[in-house]
Structure 1
C-alpha cells in the first residue's frame, strides 16, 4: 500500500508541478491542467490516462483500477485504489500522468 506522502513526494519532484487544495481534495497540476487528484478520504487516486485505453485497463485489473466518476468521464481520467499498488507502480502512474500534461520537451529533459 502506498501513502499520500509518497504520492506527494513523487509529484513534487516533477518539473512545473503545483499542489493545490480544491474543495477539500489534494490535486497536483501543471498550470491549469490537473494530472492527479486524491479522493477526500485519500483512498483513491485519480490520474490522467488516455480515455481510449481506460476501459481495457479497468477490465484487466478491476480490483485495482476504477472508471472515473460520471462527471469526469469526458476527461482523460481513471482512478486507482492506493491500497492495491506499491511504490514502483505509483511512480509509473504519477510520471505517466504528468507526461500527459507537460510539453514533450519538458518531459524529455526530465526523463533523460
Structure 2
C-alpha cells in the first residue's frame, strides 16, 4: 500500500475526520475545521513526512530518542507538533498511536469519547 494511502486511511478512520489540501498537501481536519495531521511530500526539504499535533513532551522525547524517525517540524514545532519521517522504515502500530494522539489533542471531548467506546 502506498504510504499516503496508509496515512489517509488512519486519519480518516478517526470520528468526523475530513481531508482537503492545505498549502498544497493533503491535510486532515477534525470536523473540517482544525488540523490534526499534515502530509509533507518534500514540502520544505527532500523528505516525505507528516506533521502532527502531539501531547506535551512527546515531540521532545521522540526527537531526542530517535532523530532518524522524528523531527521538530517548521512553523508548528514550537507548539509541540511532531514530525514523522515516512521515507524510512515506519513502525505502523506506533504511527497509528501517534495519529490517535494527534486527534485527541485537537478533537472536542464528544468525539474523543467515541474513540473510547467499547
Normalised by the length of structure 1, the TM-score is 0.85
Mapped contact 1:27–1:37 kept (Cα < 8 A): yes
Equivalent residue, structure 2, for 1:88:
93
State the structure with bigger RCO (CA 8 A, min sep 6), 1 or 2. Answer: 1
**Structure 1: 5+ residue runs without aligned partners?**
none
Normalised by the length of structure 2, the TM-score is 0.81
For the aligned residues, what is the CA RMSD?
2.1
Counterpart check, 1:72 vs 2:76: yes
Q: What secondary structure does 2:84 align onto?
A: strand
Q: What secondary structure does 1:100 align onto?
A: helix
| Number of equivalences | 111
Distance 1:53 1:93, change over 3 A: closer
Equivalent residue, structure 2, for 1:34:
35
Mapped contact 2:51–2:83 kept (Cα < 8 A): yes
Structure 1's consecutive aligned runs of 4 or more residues displaced over 3 angstroms after TM superposition are: none
Give 1 or 2: higher helix fraction: 1
Q: What secondary structure does 1:20 align onto?
A: strand
